[in-house]
C-alpha cells in the first residue's frame, strides 16, 4: 500500500475553491442498482460465456434468458464511491489525495487536469458464487459456467452504472470523466487495492479483502476514476477502446 506524507519538493497544483478539501473522503451509496438485473443483455452474457466471436444459437439464447432469471433471484447489487480531492501531483508518478494518501498513476494515464479521484466498489453479493460452486461440485459444469457468465455480464454493467453516477457528480463541479483504472488489471499493481479499500466504504456494501488482496465476494468490482478539467481528445465508444489488454478474448472491436 503506497501511503505517505510528502516531504520533498515538487510542483504543486493547488485546488481552486470549487474543490474544497473538506468535501474529500465522503462516502456515497448508490441507489437503483438493481436495474442491472433487467438491463443485462443476452449478447453480453453470450460474449462472456463463449468469447467475443461466439454466436449463440436459439437453444443457448433461451438458456441464457433462463439463466438471467435465476441469477436475478440470487444477486443483490450494491455500490459505493468516495470522492477524494487532489492536493498535489508528482507528474507522471502519482497524485497526493486528502490526508496525504499517495496514489500511483499509470504512465499512460497521466493527467495534469485531475481535480478529484473517486474510489468505487460494487458487488452482486455472495449467493451467486455459492450456487456456481455447488453446481460445479455436482458436475453441472455447463450450468455453473453459464450462471457465472450472467454474473460477469451484470457485474460489468454494474461498474458502468457506478461510473456514470460518479461522472454525473463530477459534472456538478465542472469536471468531466477522466481515466479509469483498477488494481490488478492492465498491469496496474494489485497492491493498490489496499489503498482503495482504505478510502472507500467497503463495509457498507459487504466487500472485504483476503490476505492476497482479492475481493470477497468474488463477484465484486473496484476501480479508481479520475474527474478532470481536461477534455479527452478521444471519446470512448466502449470500454475496450481504452484498455491495453489487446489479447483479451472478450475484447469488443469496432466494426469498420
Q: Distance between CA atoms of 219 and 145, rounded to whole angstroms?
A: 14
For the question of whether the overall pTM of this predicted structure is more than 0.85, the answer is no
Q: Domain 21-230 carries which CATH code?
A: 3.40.109.40
Domains of the chain by residue range: 21-230
Nine-digit cell at 169?
457528480
Question: Of the candidates 120, 121, 129, which has an alpha carbon nearest to the alpha carbon of residue 217?
Answer: 129
Query: pLDDT digit string (tens) for 25-43?
Result: 678 999 999 999 999 999 9
By the 8 A CB rule, do 20 and 80 touch? no
Could you read off the pLDDT of 126-173 as tens digits, one per residue? 999 999 999 999 999 999 999 999 999 999 999 999 999 999 999 999
pLDDT per position as a tens digit, 196-220: 999 999 999 999 999 999 999 999 9
Query: 3-class DSSP state for residue 142?
Result: helix
Q: By 3-state DSSP, what share of the chain in percent is helix, strand and coil, each rounded to 5?
A: 40, 20, 40
Contact between 94 and 103 (Cβ < 8 Å): yes
Greatest CA span in the chain, whole angstroms?
A: 64
Model confidence pLDDT, tens digit, residues 185-194: 888 899 999 9
Higher-confidence residue: 99 or 181? 181
Is the per-residue pLDDT at 237 higher than 80?
no
The span from the CA of 15 to the CA of 114, in Å, is 10
Extract the C-alpha cell encoding 180.
479509469
pLDDT of residue 150: 98
* Residue 15 DSSP one-character state: P
Amino acid at each position: 500500500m503506497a501511503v505517505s506524507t510528502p516531504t520533498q519538493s515538487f510542483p504543486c497544483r493547488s485546488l481552486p475553491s470549487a474543490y474544497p478539501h473538506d468535501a474529500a473522503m465522503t462516502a456515497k451509496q448508490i441507489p437503483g442498482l438493481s436495474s442491472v438485473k433487467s438491463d443485462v443483455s443476452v449478447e453480453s452474457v453470450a460474449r462472456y460465456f463463449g468469447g467475443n466471436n461466439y454466436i449463440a444459437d436459439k437453444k443457448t439464447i433461451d438458456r441464457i434468458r433462463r439463466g438471467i432469471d435465476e441469477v436475478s433471484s440470487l444477486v443483490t447489487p450494491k455500490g459505493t464511491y468516495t470522492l477524494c480531492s487532489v492536493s498535489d501531483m508528482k507528474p507522471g508518478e502519482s497524485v497526493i489525495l486528502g490526508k496525504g494518501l499517495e496514489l500511483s498513476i499509470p504512465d499512460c494515464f497521466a493527467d495534469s487536469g485531475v481535480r478529484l479521484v473517486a474510489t468505487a466498489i460494487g458487488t452482486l453479493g455472495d449467493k451467486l458464487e455459492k450456487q456456481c460452486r455447488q453446481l460445479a461440485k455436482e458436475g453441472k459444469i455447463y450450468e455453473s459456467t453459464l450462471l457465472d457468465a450472467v454474473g460477469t455480464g451484470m457485474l460489468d454493467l454494474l461498474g458502468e452504472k457506478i461510473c456514470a453516477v460518479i461522472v454525473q457528480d463530477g459534472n456538478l463541479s465542472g469536471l468531466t470523466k477522466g481515466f479509469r483504472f483498477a488494481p490488478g488489471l492492465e498491469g496496474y499493481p494489485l497492491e493498490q487495492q489496499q489503498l482503495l479499500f482504505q478510502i472507500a466504504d467497503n463495509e457498507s456494501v459487504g466487500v472485504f479483502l483476503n490476505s492476497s488482496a482479492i475481493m470477497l465476494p468474488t463477484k465484486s468490482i473496484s476501480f479508481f476514476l479520475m474527474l478532470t478539467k481536461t477534455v479527452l481528445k478521444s471519446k470512448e465508444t466502449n470500454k475496450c477502446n481504452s484498455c491495453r489488454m489487446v489479447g483479451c478474448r472478450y475484447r469488443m472491436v469496432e466494426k469498420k
